[in-house]
Structure 1
Amino acid sequence: DIRMPEMDGLQLFDRVVDLDPDIPVILVTGHGDIAMAVKAIKDGAYDFITKPFAADRLAQSVWRAAEKRRLVMENRA
């Protein structure tokens, strides 16, 4: 989520990307806007989902992200 105590979701996203730039990150928030979504995608987020959302929307994004990760790991081997 974008709004969290201690560190917001975008800061956490930046840290994750620093550790592994190929990991697909899905950001989910009830407080996002188009500018935030565009910035997140440009910065490398795999997807940006706003609340409320349908469960299948999240499931599809997670499935696609996992498949992307599998392919990245396969190509690294």
Structure 2
Amino acid sequence: MAELEELIYEVRQGFQIPPFFPDEGLMDYAKEGKARLSYLNPKADLKKDFTYRSLLKNYIYYAYHHKVHEWEENYKNLIVSWQLGSEV
């Protein structure tokens, strides 16, 4: 859970999420994104895999704007290469 809290801090700073939006909302998006990405690549490690980290940060940002479908479209090539990279 601490790794997600750290990620939320990074997202809030990096994407300039206003302080009036609660951390709990961002945490829900982080959990959704982590579940989704973990399903696609179960071996991924959030601390060591910077592609996973980047994908999750961007998922949170897109979810904050209610544009998860656009995230899927924009990152599908990266997701596939990320999945294939972990197979090697």
TM-score by length of 1: 0.35
Higher strand share: 1
The structure richer in helix per residue is: 2
TM-score norm. by structure 2 comes to 0.32
